[in-house]
Structure 1
Amino acid sequence: MQQRTLKKAVEVVGIGLHKGEPIKLRLEPLDVDSGIIFYREDLAMRILLSPDSVIDTRMATVIGNEKGYISTIEHFLSAVYAYGIDNMRVIVDGNEMPIMDGSSISFCLLLEEAGIHEQDALKKIIRVKQPVEVREGDKFVRLLPHESAEFDFRIKFDHPVIGDQKEHFEFSTKAFVEEIARARTFGFAKDIQYLQSQNLALGATLQNAIGLDDHKVLNPEGLRFENEFARHKILDAMGDMLVAGHNILGKYESFAGSHDLNYKLTSKLLSDSKNYDLVEVEELQSRTFAKSFA
């Protein structure tokens, strides 16, 4: 399997979740072994995708440094993971990614508009060699050795609409688009009201998130999937795992995981070479992973 970039540059404008302001996003091809490079056009600032670049994980995954940052990258990165893009320049003119409809489907369509270009170098992936886990109380995230990429997520909320949900996802690009990409982020009305009083979540609407009061879903159209909340957690996890810099070959499992636990998991994975190998896809005995991008 070859490394991938885009056939052409594409751009879109969307609203930022927290500032509520228009954000221009432009994607450009890059040469082999360049990786995913984020760029703040307004600051002329380059940010390499890596756990070392993560500076905040409280409400979203945020990368940057004291000079500037880019927030809410996980929905975009889950689409990048799904399409197997290795090398790309991601340019924004503000401090967050556009939220679009609160899922990844708009980013999937943007990548399809750009087209996929296979490059003259083999794709490198992170292969999990031994179990790696991060646990806080009863919450946990873990990666296990596996011959394909799979995700198991369980959540439990004391809310009549959410309750105890789980989703098992066997990765392929096609399955991602059909089963995961359209699952939206969600929030509780009382929390949104507080955040907006703190000048956060100013762009949050029922057009880019699932809204919940104490009893029901506030969106007139309802849910896209019965367990949309658990599916969105897998979407988030895929984006957060790509912060490691490469697609990961292994099984991800979680109960009540978060951006913070995912960040700690990728950091722990990469902290010890006994945990993983960086391998070219051609070296894999199993071709299942490569076929999943077909």
Structure 2
Amino acid sequence: MGIDLHDYQTTLKSRVSLSGIGVHSGNPVSIHFVPADPDTGIIFSKTDANGDCVELRALSSEVGGTDLCTILGDVSGAHVATVEHLMAALSSLGIDNVVVETEGNEVPILDGSASMFVEAFDQAGLKVQAVKRRYIRIVKPVRIENGASWAEFRPYAGTRYEVEIDFESPAIGRQFFAADITPEVFRRDISRARTFGFMKDVERLWAAGYALGSSLENSVVIGDDDRVINMEGLRYSNEFVRHKMLDAMGDLALAGARFIGCFRSFRGGHKLNAQALRRLLSDRSAFEIVETGRRERGRGAEMIAVNAPVYAPWMS
């Protein structure tokens, strides 16, 4: 019987680069994706103000901020901001090991979605590595609440997201989207959903040093009349909730491994996603590390518990 390539870790076949601007800094930035050895995980590599190379692992223990975006590292020192769209693409396409070399403090926003990351990784191609992929399997419910907002993990035989949002703006309103995640589903239904914001918030964000690179080319903008002002309109009729799912997928990719289970949220955001992930990883009775076991004649593969990966997500 042949092997299932989904059972094994992957990296890129070749180096690939992207350039753009940081949505918050407004500065030009280039980013390079470099193939990495098995069990490396995702590592962001950058040069600090002193000219020293700093490596930041894409793990929840490295999260230094969740205001408007997810930031790895020390926001007052070496850090990389706006990692969520990139992390969603890496995780959903099954890319386990890569070094992300960045020449700035922010991942480029590109078109505001994850679609250009998908195109870059397709261009580079994937290389299957001879080491089993490990997963975080949810074995009991874990829930966190913050006012009217909540998020939870529940056991499920697959990887599923169920996200609901509720905005006062008639342009958005209340939207719900759910999907069992595969690379094909991510490409078709989620990757092209763009970040969004309100014109009425622009001046306040600019004054605070945020959204300096935001434009109609990388954001869906809702005007003062509660209408989408982008000439091309929406890519999906419910693009707003699909983008919130994209954000959640990127934030939860900082677990250090894909999870087998269902993540549900209501009126969530980067902060709530990070809190839910920390709550899960702090309770070792709520999950186990598994990999695909040996196949037997007439039976499908089964997931078996294994020792923790070297980049254990719950460790600082």
Whether contact under 8 Å (1:184, 1:228) holds in the other structure is: yes
1:144 counterpart (142, 154, 164): 154
Q: What secondary structure is seen at the aligned counterpart in 2 of 1:243?
A: helix
**1:37 matched to 2:49:** no
Report the residue type matching 2:238 in the other structure. N
Query: In 2, Cα distance between the equivalents of 1:146 and 1:283?
Result: 21
How far, CA to CA, are the matches of 1:152 and 1:13 in structure 2?
32
Give, as a single letter, the amino acid of the residue that structure 2 aligns with 1:263: A
Moved more, 248-257 or 35-44: 35-44
Partners of 2:18 and 2:31 within 8 A in 1 = yes
2:19 aligned partner: 13
Question: What's the counterpart of residue 121 of structure 1?
Answer: 131
* TM-score when normalising by structure 2: 0.88
Q: Look up the match of 2:312.
A: none
Matched, 1:28 2:28: no
Residue 162 of structure 1: SS of its match in structure 2?
coil
**Structure 1 match to 2:94:** 84
Q: Where does residue 188 of structure 1 map in the other structure?
A: 198
Query: Which 5+ residue runs of structure 2 have no aligned equivalent?
Result: 1-6, 304-316
Give TM-score, length-normalised by structure 1: 0.95
- Measured after TM superposition, the shift of residue 245 of structure 1 is 0.8
Does residue 198 of structure 1 match 2:212? no
RMSD: 1.7
Pairs within 5 Å for 1:45-60: 45-60=54-69
Judge conservation of contact 2:292–2:302 (CA < 8 Å) in 1: no
2:279 aligned to 268, 276, 279, which one? Answer: 268
Shift in Å, 1:196: 1.3
Q: Aligned to 2:121, what secondary structure does the other structure show?
A: helix
Q: Secondary structure at the match of 1:222?
A: coil
Between 274-283 and 83-92, report the one with greater CA deviation: 274-283
**Rg larger for:** 2
Q: Does 1:225 align with 2:267?
A: no
Identity of aligned residues (%): 37
Contact 1:122 1:282 in 2 (8 A): no
Question: How many residues are treated as equivalent by the alignment?
Answer: 289
Show structure 1 runs of 5+ residues with no match.
290-294
The code of the aligned residue for 2:19 comes to: V
Partner of 2:71: 62
Cα distance in 2, alignment partners of residues 287 and 159 from structure 1: 47
CA distance, structure 1, for counterparts of residue 146 and residue 172 of structure 2: 22
What stretches of structure 1 move > 4 A for 4+ residues in a row?
283-289
